[in-house]
Amino acid sequence: MKIQANQVHSHLQKDLARCYLVSGDEHLLVAEVIDAIRDAARGKGFTSRDLHIANTGFDWSTLRSSTANLSLFAERRIVELRLPSGKPGRDGSAAIVDMVAETGPELMLIVAAAKLDRSNQSAKWVKALDTAGVAVTIWPVGPRELPGWIGARMRQAGLQPDREAVAMIAERVEGNLLAAAQEIEKLRLLHGAGALSSADVSAAVANSSRFDVFKLVDAAMAGDAKRAVRILAGLQAEGTEAVIVVWSLTRELRTLASLAELVAGGTSLASAMQKARIWSSREALVRACVARHQPGELHQLLKACGLADRAAKGQIQADPWQAVMPIVLQLALGQRKAA
């Protein structure tokens, strides 16, 4: 049975399924749904929990062994499986299907997975969990939905924010739901329940906009030049060392240039990314970036990073931030002109 994330609490008040699948890339929301399921299960006597994290090389026999001695224990047990990639493979799929068959009054299975692609949505293990229990898909909170999400969460915490207060938090956390949740909790502790203005927020909220080098690189790779430039300006204003920014750009450009060369030589991008051990969650980002550039472009950007690095280290007389700006723009724009 499929339900929405906002239906989980009402579902748990009425019933408790024997297995759950919670999938999505919003880690805070996935974790909160699983916490709610655990709390409800604990109230029903599930006091023991086995946790398995299926990273590369995971031994699926350890999952099966979770039920081996179940009859020896009087307490009810939760088996929790985390699938960071969302793809358990053939052995993993079979193990999950077998585990679903074992679930019942004494055993609950909770599977937490990354966002499921189309092929996985029709996989046997997903269908088994959906048929026997409950599947919850966590959808990302986009920029348009973020203010509404923040406002609703603030009201749940007893705060009554005005529109400017909500907008200020949304701008500062820049899509980071965990940072938003932390700031809301901080405001609740500082101000207590009641009305909250933008002035209150301005005085209390730390700048959690995550102007970090990794977000800079991701924005440029995603082709979002405007956001990349804004993050770059934020990094400079915060006093971030330019050498760190150059290092992060250089590291990513080496990988991108290598992938582009392999593709130009006839290797499929999927195979090249697998060889480079690109995380599945970053494959779409890398694919889009490589498609926007020629191999020669990426090598030129690497050379430009070398000059920016020398400027950042004081080896040549130049402003490293001015040297980094065209690199970021060209990485974002690719074959479009960095006007």
**Per-residue pLDDT at 108 exceeds 80:** yes
- Cα–Cα distance, 188 to 161 (Å, whole number): 11
Q: Which residue has the tokens 């290797």?
A: 267
- Cα–Cα distance, 309 to 292 (Å, whole number): 24
Question: Domains of the chain by range and CATH?
Answer: 2-137 (3.40.50.300), 146-204 (1.10.8.60), 213-333 (1.20.272.10)
Which region, left, alpha or beta, applies to residue 158 given φ > 0 means left and ψ of -120 to 50 means alpha? left
- Cα–Cα distance, 60 to 55 (Å, whole number): 11
Which region, left, alpha or beta, applies to residue 223 given φ > 0 means left and ψ of -120 to 50 means alpha? left
Per-residue pLDDT tens digits for 7-50: 999 999 988 999 999 999 888 899 899 999 999 999 999 988 88
**292 touches 256 (CB < 8 A):** no
Per-residue pLDDT tens digits for 153-208: 999 999 999 999 998 888 777 778 888 888 888 888 778 889 998 888 877 754 44
pTM for the model:
0.59
Angle between helices 225-237 and 320-333 (to 10 degrees): 160
Quick one: what percent of the chain has pLDDT higher than 70? 93
Per-residue pLDDT tens digits for 194-236: 999 888 887 775 444 456 788 899 899 999 999 899 889 888 8
Per-residue pLDDT tens digits for 301-322: 999 999 999 998 888 889 999 9
**84 touches 114 (CB < 8 A):** yes
What is the full DSSP assignment across 172-219?
HHTT-HHHHHHHHHHHHHHH-SEEE-HHHHHHH----S---HHHHHHH
